[in-house]
Amino acid sequence: MSKTDEKSAERVRKVLTQDLFVRAAAVNATAVVDEMRSIHNSFPVATVATGRAMVASLLMASHLKNNQELSIYIQGNGPLSRVFAEASFEGKARAYSTAPHLESPADSQKILLAPAIGIGLLTVTHHLPMGGPPHRGTVELLTSEIGDDIAYYLQQSHQIPSVVALGVHVNAYGRVDAAGGVLIELMPGHTEETVRKIEAAVKAAKPISQRLLEGATADDLLRDYLGEFTLIEMEHDYPIEYSCRCTAERVKRSVGLLGLEELDEMIAKAEEVEVGCDFCGRKYKITPAELEDVRRSVYKSSLN
């Protein structure tokens, strides 16, 4: 049983306002984000960045359809460099950063992501079932704090005015003791009164991590932002969990992306190659004979 199973059966909570002008989702993802931290042994900066991205992916994926997935890829020119998170409609999530052991400034009391991520791009990819072509959108990072960047993406790519509030709190031991978020989206037909109410709620709301540390549930977070609205709950009965779908075959396909020249160099060494999964750390060993099979497959594909 994973840490997620032991600690939590949390679900993304989804609602619509009675007038259908607003849809929203909220989640307490503390256990899932801390499991990610444990797997990668990540330091606080990477934990917060990757955790926020994973929470955002869970919230956004909850509005997809069965067997669909959504990924968030953040690429900046700062020392953290790249962050990737992915979640499915069914609540399965995974994530990693390329600099999990990046240290934050010793005199900093608050973890700021912008200096770590830097200037760059945010790409959101909607993966369809049955191998259909994915839908992909890219925007410049607005603040590099992730929540505002997601809201900017939704506005620019989908013309959906949104509020994205994300929070990850890391304690003195580096463990995650609060992680979650709220996604509020304005639907066509919304009024200025709708906007006014939400703006007032956003202004009055406490930080997400603070509310979770106080014991707030996902439903409490929704009420913090939408307390003036009559809400209709939308069914979404999928416990969230950290789940990696890596297999030996997928690892071999990823090795094939290195190209023929590098594969030839690896084969010439006649040595077993060990490849680790970025998401879960599992190690796979690929024999020289298997490398040759990979090369043949890559070569055949290059002829098409």
- Give the domain range for residue 267: 248-303
d(Cα 283, Cα 274) in Å, to the nearest integer? 7
pLDDT score for 14: 98
Residue spans of alpha helices (H) in 227-303:
248-256, 260-268, 288-303
Q: Are residues 47 and 108 in the same domain?
A: yes
Q: What is the mean predicted confidence (pLDDT) over 227-240?
A: 95
pLDDT digits (tens, 9 = 90+) for 136-189: 999 999 999 999 999 999 999 999 999 999 999 999 999 999 999 999 999 999
Residue spans of alpha helices (H) in the chain:
3-7, 30-40, 44-61, 114-117, 147-158, 192-204, 208-213, 218-226, 248-256, 260-268, 288-303
Q: Give 6's pLDDT tier (boundaries 50, 70, 90).
A: very low
pLDDT digits (tens, 9 = 90+) for 87-130: 999 999 999 999 999 987 655 568 899 999 999 999 999 988 76
pLDDT score for 202: 95
Q: Are residues 227 and 281 in the same domain?
A: no
Q: What is the mean predicted confidence (pLDDT) over 196-217?
A: 96
pLDDT score for 259: 87
pLDDT score for 221: 97
Phi and psi for 139 in degrees, rounded to 5?
A: -135, 160
d(Cα 52, Cα 211) in Å, to the nearest integer? 16
Contacts of 136 (CB under 8 A, 6+ apart): 123, 124, 125, 126
pLDDT digits (tens, 9 = 90+) for 120-136: 999 999 988 766 788 99
pLDDT score for 276: 84
Q: Are residues 176 and 293 in the same domain?
A: no
Task: Kindly tell me the burial class for residue 300, based on how many C-beta atoms sit within 10 Å of its own C-beta (0-12, 13-18, 19 or more).
Answer: exposed
pLDDT score for 2: 45
Identify the domain boundary among 189, 210, 242.
242
Cβ(69)–Cβ(127) below 8 Å = yes
Q: Are residues 274 and 139 in the same domain?
A: no
Q: Are residues 94 and 217 in the same domain?
A: yes
Identify the domain boundary among 226, 242, 258.
242
Checking if the pLDDT of 56 tops 70, the result is yes
pLDDT score for 108: 55
CATH of the domain at 184: 3.55.30.10
pTM: 0.86
Q: What is the mean predicted confidence (pLDDT) over 225-238?
A: 95
pLDDT score for 105: 67
Identify the domain boundary among 196, 212, 242.
242
Q: Are residues 108 and 237 in the same domain?
A: yes
pLDDT score for 4: 45
Q: Are residues 149 and 295 in the same domain?
A: no
Position of tokens 């992915």?
86
Checking if the pLDDT of 1 tops 50, the result is no
CATH of the domain at 293: 3.90.1280.10
Q: Into how many domains does the chain fold?
A: 2
Element (H, E) at 73: strand 69-76
Q: What is the mean predicted confidence (pLDDT) over 38-52?
A: 96
Q: Are residues 197 and 70 in the same domain?
A: yes
